[in-house]
Amino acid sequence: MLTVVLAVLAAFANAAGSVLQRAGARKQPRGDGLSVGVLRALVTTPVWVLGVATMLAGFVLQAAALATGPIVLVQPIMVAELAFTLVLSGPVFHTRLRGRDWVAAVGMAASVGVLLFALAPGGGDPRRVPALVWLLGCTVTVACVALLVVAGRRNSHAHHAAFLGTAAGLWFGFTAVLMAGVTAALTAGGVPALFKAWQTYAMVVAGPTGFFLLQTALRAGRLVAAQPGLVLANPLVALGWGLVVFGEHVRGGPWIAVELVAAAALAGCTVLLAGSPLLRDEDPARQPA
């Protein structure tokens, strides 16, 4: 139960941070990159700084959740970030939630609950993963992110934001994987083991990289274009790493049908939420009264 509570709080903090950062980024000229000049301007924008601080709080909460439960349990809960984003966008962008938005949000919550109940994830230990397997998994994940970034730069403006959002989602999922390795080392050997784990130093690089990808995605287009990939790619990475690399287990047999239905419902609710007018147009001046 503690793991679930911490993961939900982490999703809420991430959503709040995303909305606040988007509100700050909206004040800057839209472009394809995050230049030093733009970053300097963002740092002087209070709402953007608050968004960064809130997202850092979500990072800490997520680490605490990973320290108490398997990654296959924690990361799917993080998709609730999209529903939280929708709700929080209302007061920030002066819009109101509509009936279909509430239906999709409730459907998302129910789908996540059913999915996790059907999966019943457990087991696994990042400390038992051989170094070669870690290297192979990291290489494949980084290569996928790189391909998405390149593909985004070769597509239209709207697709650019979608590709970058997916790349950022994959990267945040990868960061969670590294975080699971760090928390496992910390739990087993205390602070000294923390500084001996290579994942700790990898996160020093992964953290700023994910931050850069997120800011680039937010500035590349509307939040509605970047958010679905940002949210859904994260648990997919966790599921792959958890089952294939960490050795975590989920229920099979007849439960697979339930898992597929819940996953499909979750994807449908995500698409429905992402198409909400509240996210489609974030400029208050263009919103209906």
List phi, psi (to 5°) of 45.
-100, 110
pLDDT in tens, 3-15: 999 999 999 998 8
pLDDT in tens, 46-72: 888 898 899 899 989 988 998 888 999
Query: Which is nearest to 128 in space by CA: 171, 173, 185, 67?
Result: 185
Q: To which H or E segment does residue 123 belong?
A: strand 122-123
pLDDT of residue 35: 59
The structure tokens listed for 131 are: 């170094």
Taking residues 249-266, report their average pLDDT. 92
Identify the band that residue 153 occupies on the pLDDT scale cut at 50, 70 and 90.
confident
